[in-house]
Amino acid sequence: MLLFLRKQKYLIDYTLSSLLRRKGKSLGLLAVYTTIVFMLASVTLFTHALRKEAGLMLQASPEIIVQRMQAGRHAMIPADYLQRIGRLRGVMQKAGRLWGYYYDPIVKANYTIMTEGQSDTPLTEIVIGTGIARVQGLDVGDYLTLRSQSGEAFSFQISALLENDSELVSADLLLMSPKAFRRLFSIPEGFYTDLVLSVRNPREVNKVAEKLSQLLPDTRPILRDEVLRTYESVFSWRQGILFVLLLGSVLAFVIFAWDKASGLSAEERREIGILKAVGWETADVMRMKFWEGMVISLTAFLIGYLAAYGHVFFASASLFEPVLKGWSVLYPQFRLTPYVDGLQLATLFFFSVLPYIVATIIPIWRTSIADPDAVMR
Amino acid sequence: MLLNPAIMALVMVSAVICLMLLLASWFAVRVLSHWDINSGSERQLRLERRTYLISTLLVWAFSFQLMSLLLFIYNAESMSGQFVGAMCATGVLNVNAWGWPTLFLKMGVFFTGAVWLVLNYLDNQGHDYPLIRYKYWLILAILPLVAAELILQLLYFTNMDPAVITSCCGALFSSQSEGVAGEISGLPPAQMMPGFVLLGAAVILSGVWVAKRRQGGWLFALLGGAAFIVALMSVVSFISLYIYEHPHHHCPFCILKSGHDYIGYLLYLPLFAATALALSVGVISPWRKITSLTLAVDRIVPRLSWIAVVFFSLFYLVAAWSVWTSHLTMTGVWW
């Protein structure tokens, strides 16, 4: 065993010195390899972190949302639906929500407006997200004017800014009192945007949803688990699309690696000839070449992965952002929580190292079976 | 579902393995019809040189196979969030009829691949390649398995329908349910436990015997295979119950989750490695009668047997430890 390990050590030693002797060629290969790993790893890390973030955020959302549908469109739901639901076994809480979107033509962006607090919240005070504050140049104490449904202008004083760490959801958020919301959008008392129900036992959620759709046939219940599942598949779908696009470059890399491994210079050919002449066997040469591939692969994988880590978690993945996050004027600025996942790492390995290994097997074999006298002549 | 990156990777790996085996099989046919170690012809020389390539190809192919088996289970585990009713890998494998067959085929290819690698290693020790024909016949036998795996896996992934409500492990592995899984879950632990322990002792003893005496390899392989099956059944029947500390949860996959300290990997990895080694010992020990291999067999068999014994012991120790430290008490229920 010790002998085996020592032999491998000498082989690696030899490989390293031989790689260093051919600096230009080795570095060229390493650069291309690293770039491939970097791109794939950036996509992987970024989508995975986003998926994680979405999942964490939705943990706090209610289990069931009930929306009223009219002619296939989402419509305001009357408050007496809450009474019509009555007491459903398993439902801990039920409440109506008021929320909507407001298009601001000045900055050409949509705000998400939600209501907060009881009816005694001051009518003219609002809380805004940092994204809005940034584009409008606002701060606490400043005034923000919104145009109501009827054409009047309402001025609100900003009482606070939403915290930075929730910027992924709160960048475009605007919180106001329910009364102000009804005035702004001319929504009569007794109507809500939708209803939310919280169900304690996850196994009862489906049953409650079934009862709801019988009780209120003009509504649709939306389950939190469904939303989570959708997020999950949308993100892995987007990641898959990007992978398919990057597959072209992986293929190019495979051809490049094949070419590099088979197009040996006269110098290298001579080197292998001498090795075989001094007593190396074909298997030894192949083993040496195997270690060469391993050294290059591991270095490229490590550097590429670390660079991608920095790109995603410190530079906010500036290269892929628009594709993976979607488009918006009010881009949230946020740092993702670093998250490394074994499955993602394995997938990445299969997409980068495996093609390299497969591409170099045949060229390596071709090199190592060469006859010493033929190559040295 | 094909656009999921892990699924793309799995399909790609299977396709690459299949291609590698196709290449090897094509060569195997030529070896089987033209191989003549005593000939000095150019064709024979070419064939001998090419065996290096084929060995390398297959070493990689079977290492990839091992990784793809792990990735397959890991992926099934992580996809459980995307299917209604699935809570772990069981539900995801149950999404359609192809999930379980794919898993079993992957396991089958893993074991035959491991045996092939050991056979190949042994053959290379003999100066006259005495096993070359058997070795290449075995490749021809593995090829259909690999091809079937590729096709089944493709069917499995393309037919995944997120709208289908699948059954979770609690429904499949319960003594009330029908089918193989239900049968295994319903096995009485009072009888399973002694069987598990006895077979464990037998396999370890036979392994030590083979390592010391260099004979009885076939018995070790037989016992190893039996121990593997009984061990998997025991995991479903009672070991998992102790890990979950729940008298009715039989799932063999939930133990892979972080909530149980990934103890499943500590159970399955040694078990699979030990079984593969035991099977290999059984396959190579009869070749001791070939003169050019006697020395090599005498050297390799004890070594493999010792490693197998260590892995088997590790598995049984982890299993015993998880039963011992569990807070679940079934005295009075099972016996």
Mean pLDDT across chain A: 84
Q: How confident is the model at residue A179 (pLDDT cuts 50, 70, 90)?
A: confident
Task: Round to whole Å and give the CA distance between A44 and A348.
Answer: 8
Q: Are residues A120 and A17 in the same domain?
A: no
Contacts of residue B57 in chain A, CB cutoff 8 Å? 361
Residue A69's domain spans which residues?
63-222
CA B194-B198-B199 angle, 5° bins: 120
CATH of the domain at A86: 2.40.40.20
Domain termination residue (choose one: B163, B191, B214): B163
| Most A-contacting residue of B42, B49, B157 (CB-CB within 10 A), to test interface | B49
If DSSP codes are grouped into helix, strand and coil, which group holds residue B333? coil
Q: Are residues B241 and B271 in the same domain?
A: yes
The mean pLDDT of A158-168, rounded to a whole number, is 76
Q: Are residues B196 and B247 in the same domain?
A: yes
Q: Are residues A24 and A71 in the same domain?
A: no
The mean pLDDT of B118-126, rounded to a whole number, is 89
Helix axes of B5-34 and A342-368: crossing angle, nearest 10 degrees:
30
Q: Are residues B222 and B153 in the same domain?
A: no
Q: Are residues B154 and B10 in the same domain?
A: yes
Q: Could you write out the DSSP letters of every residue in A22-62?
A: THHHHHHHHHHHHHHHHHHHHHHHHHHHHHHHHHHHHHTS-
Name the minimum distance, in Å, from the CA of B62 to any CA of chain A.
13
- pLDDT tops 70 at residue A325: no
Q: How confident is the model at residue B107 (pLDDT cuts 50, 70, 90)?
A: very high
Q: Are residues A41 and A76 in the same domain?
A: no
Residue B226's domain spans which residues?
168-335
Name the minimum distance, in Å, from the CA of A241 to any CA of chain B.
7
The number of helix segments (H) and strand segments (E) in chain B equals 12, 0
Q: Are residues B154 and B226 in the same domain?
A: no
Burial grade of A306 (CB within 10 A; 0-12, 13-18, 19 or more): middle
Q: Are residues A206 and A332 in the same domain?
A: no
Q: Are residues B13 and B48 in the same domain?
A: yes
Task: Round to whole Å and give the CA distance between A272 and B267.
Answer: 45
**CB contact (8 A) between residue A354 and residue B64:** yes
Min mean pLDDT across A371-375, B102-106, B199-203 is at: A371-375
Contact present, A356 and A292 (Cβ < 8 Å): no
If DSSP codes are grouped into helix, strand and coil, which group holds residue B171? helix
Name the minimum distance, in Å, from the CA of B129 to any CA of chain A.
15
Domain termination residue (choose one: A181, A202, A222): A222
Task: Round to whole Å and give the CA distance between B268 and B257.
Answer: 13
- pLDDT tops 80 at residue A293: yes
Name the minimum distance, in Å, from the CA of A261 to any CA of chain B.
15
**Which among A243-252, A266-275, B301-310 has the top mean pLDDT?**
B301-310
Of B3, B74, B162, nearest to A240 by CB-CB distance is B3
Q: What percentage of residues in chain A have a pLDDT greater than 70?
A: 93
Of A44, A282, A283, nearest to B5 by CB-CB distance is A44
Paired tokens of A156:
């609100």
Closest-CA residue of chain A to B75: A343
Name the minimum distance, in Å, from the CA of A374 to any CA of chain B.
16
Task: Round to whole Å and give the CA distance between B10 and B319.
Answer: 30
Q: Are residues A196 and A303 in the same domain?
A: no
The mean pLDDT of A206-213, rounded to a whole number, is 86
Name the minimum distance, in Å, from the CA of A230 to any CA of chain B.
8
Q: Are residues A248 and A364 in the same domain?
A: yes
Q: How many angstroms separate the first and last alpha carbons of chain A?
A: 38
Task: Round to whole Å and give the CA distance between B105 and B107.
Answer: 5
Place of tokens 């399973």: B192
Q: Are residues A45 and A103 in the same domain?
A: no
The enclosing H or E element of B58 equals: helix B42-78
**CB contact (8 A) between residue A346 and residue B9:** yes
The number of helix segments (H) and strand segments (E) in chain A equals 13, 13
Of the two residues B81 and A250, the one the predictor is more confident about is: A250
What's the number of CA atoms in the CB half-sphere (13 Å) around residue B3? Answer: 14
Strand partners, A65: A196, A222
The count of domains in chain A is 2
Q: Are residues A104 and A197 in the same domain?
A: yes
- pLDDT tops 70 at residue A358: yes
The mean pLDDT of A174-185, rounded to a whole number, is 88
Q: Are residues B150 and B288 in the same domain?
A: no
Contacts of residue B3 in chain A, CB cutoff 8 Å? 236-237, 240-241, 244
Q: Are residues A196 and A261 in the same domain?
A: no
The mean pLDDT of B89-103, rounded to a whole number, is 86
**CB contact (8 A) between residue A236 and residue B3:** yes
Q: What is the pLDDT of residue B175?
A: 67
Instruction: Return the amino acid letter for A319.
Output: L
**Which among A188-197, A247-256, B309-318 has the top mean pLDDT?**
B309-318
- pLDDT tops 90 at residue B18: yes
pLDDT, tens only, B236-268? 888 888 888 887 788 888 888 877 888 888 899
Q: What is the pLDDT of residue A118?
A: 60
Q: Are residues A162 and A42 in the same domain?
A: no
Task: Round to whole Å and give the CA distance between B288 and B130.
Answer: 11
Domain termination residue (choose one: B145, B163, B181): B163
Q: How confident is the model at residue B1 (pLDDT cuts 50, 70, 90)?
A: low
pLDDT, tens only, B275-331? 999 999 999 888 888 888 888 888 888 899 999 999 999 999 999 998 888 888 777
Q: What is the pLDDT of residue A33?
A: 92
Q: Are residues A210 and A352 in the same domain?
A: no
Q: Are residues B275 and B323 in the same domain?
A: yes
CA A263-A267-A273 angle, 5° bins: 95
Q: Are residues B248 and B145 in the same domain?
A: no
Contacts of residue A350 in chain B, CB cutoff 8 Å? 9-10, 12-13, 67, 71
Domain termination residue (choose one: B119, B145, B163): B163
Contact present, A147 and A36 (Cβ < 8 Å): no
Contacts of residue A351 in chain B, CB cutoff 8 Å? 5, 9, 12
**CB contact (8 A) between residue B6 and residue A342:** no
Closest-CA residue of chain B to A232: B82
Whether this model's ipTM surpasses 0.90 comes out as no
Q: What is the pLDDT of residue B274?
A: 93
pLDDT, tens only, A88-127? 888 888 888 899 999 888 888 888 898 876 656 678 888 8
Contact present, A156 and A126 (Cβ < 8 Å): yes
Burial grade of A113 (CB within 10 A; 0-12, 13-18, 19 or more): buried
Q: Are residues B216 and B137 in the same domain?
A: no
- pLDDT tops 70 at residue A165: no
Task: Round to whole Å and give the CA distance between B272 and B171.
Answer: 27
Q: Are residues B48 and B185 in the same domain?
A: no
Q: Are residues B231 and B102 in the same domain?
A: no
Of the two residues B280 and A58, the one the predictor is more confident about is: B280
Distance of CA B295 to the CA centre of its chain: 29
Paired tokens of B5:
């990156």
How far, in Å, are A233, B84, B165 from residue B162 at the CA level?
Answer: 9, 7, 8
Strand partners, A154: A146
Place of tokens 């080694």: B277
Q: Are residues A49 and A190 in the same domain?
A: no
Q: How confident is the model at residue A280 (pLDDT cuts 50, 70, 90)?
A: confident
- pLDDT tops 70 at residue A327: no
List residues of chain B with CB under 8 Å from any CB of chain A. 2-6, 8-10, 12-13, 16, 20, 49, 52-53, 56-57, 60, 64, 67, 70-71, 74-75, 78, 81-84, 162
The count of domains in chain B is 2
| Most B-contacting residue of A354, A364, A371 (CB-CB within 10 A), to test interface | A354
Q: How confident is the model at residue B117 (pLDDT cuts 50, 70, 90)?
A: very high
